[in-house]
Structure 1
Amino acid sequence: MRVITERDRCVGSGQCAMLSPEVFDQDDEGLVLVLREEPAEGLREDLLRAADLCPSRAIRVDG
């Protein structure tokens, strides 16, 4: 599984960092940062929820 983000689409809502802090954070401008591009399978449900709730659709989970 791989997490892909499009920082240029990010609006800084922070939903991803709240839902999956093991994988996501925000930079000084509030934009998404990926801490683990290939997270453990056990995090899949949280990652899919974060991608679904992202208002700008800046997160994709492949695999």
Structure 2
Amino acid sequence: MKLEANRDACISSGNCVMTSEALFDQDDDGVVVILAEDVPEAEEDHAREAVDICPASVLRLV
């Protein structure tokens, strides 16, 4: 499972970071940064939750 993010459409809500600090961070402008494109098995549920709760729908699992 891989994570992708459309950084250009990110609205900097930070919900993803609150879901998993192991997978997500934010740059100085608050835009999402993917820390682990290949999602570790232990973080798969967190990745799914982040995709589901992203208010701008910029996160995607492939």
Structure 2 equivalent of residue 26 of structure 1: 26
Higher helix share: 2
CA displacement, residues 7-56 of structure 1 (integer Å, 9 cap, x when unaligned): 01100000001101101000000000011110211211111100100000
Structure 1, unaligned stretches of length 5 or more? Answer: none
Amino acid corresponding to residue 15 of structure 2 in structure 1: Q
Q: TM-score, normalised by structure 1?
A: 0.94
Structure 1 equivalent of residue 44 of structure 2: 44
Aligned counterparts of 1:3 and 1:32: Cα–Cα separation in 2: 12
Structure 1 equivalent of residue 55 of structure 2: 55
Structure 2 equivalent of residue 14 of structure 1: 14
The RMSD of aligned alpha carbons is 0.6
% identical equivalent positions: 39
Q: How many aligned residue pairs are there? A: 62
Deviation at 1:58, TM superposition (A): 0.4
Structure 1 stretches of 4+ moved >2 Å:
none
